[in-house]
Structure 1
């Protein structure tokens, strides 16, 4: 495990140095979709679970927080409509993809490699309160990058980021997806 962490850290540093040179000064770029003032989100799948709302809160889940802080857990209070299945561990899987704003092509979104660390995780053990039963409900999802120092090392403080949050249930085959664009701090 230690060897894997060392190898991933070296790969992340190499990716940051050679693969992802990004524009550090976003002065020439307007904040995408007003992310300097509010989190922007949309559903990126046809369901069956429909996301009706998403609001960022601090790690306690009690205080609205924006911009978000990626160096501590974030509670995203989502309002969902789940019309069909009950989702449970280990079948409910989660993948997160991340983009940074700015890069070689100017004011555009550039993918940040996560080296598979955020792919096909047990969603119920990684922030989704399970079981997720059918019905219209609030679902407080915890997004926690603090256990992934290799990914945090690739990010810069006080920048806009885009997250694709995918949930897939292996038993039913259902997939739901939400895209989030938010301004984020690391410190």
Structure 2
């Protein structure tokens, strides 16, 4: 009886963990990036004309030409690390389904030249707030009234007044 209960519990745990793993895989594959253009139900690739590169939505990889070949990476190459993905224009390639969108690179480059801007785009999510200076939340303060000399002077005056108060209290306590 114990072995049957253990077998059922083990089977239950196995099914639960397999179901949980399947859900996480389905959720992560093919999710458009936050900087991707909103309003497209099915898309596999973006072409980024400003940097002449592609983005594979399903694999979450950039595809660019480097060192004489097409390279797939999760990050942009060093020369484009400061490229603004939120502000740059993205061409959604709805007409291509395969693994090598760069097979049509000459056509894409001619049609969507550097600086190309078609219809206005809106990203899936707003640009994240960068750490550091932000116009809306300027945490810098005007510390002029905390001038060290004035502060030290006030600090000394307060100590001086306190000394007199203590002397006065001591003197009154003795009478």
Compute the TM-score of the two structures, normalised by the length of structure 2: 0.21
Compute the TM-score of the two structures, normalised by the length of structure 1: 0.20
Q: Which structure has the larger Rg? A: 2
* More helix by percentage: 2
* More strand by percentage: 1
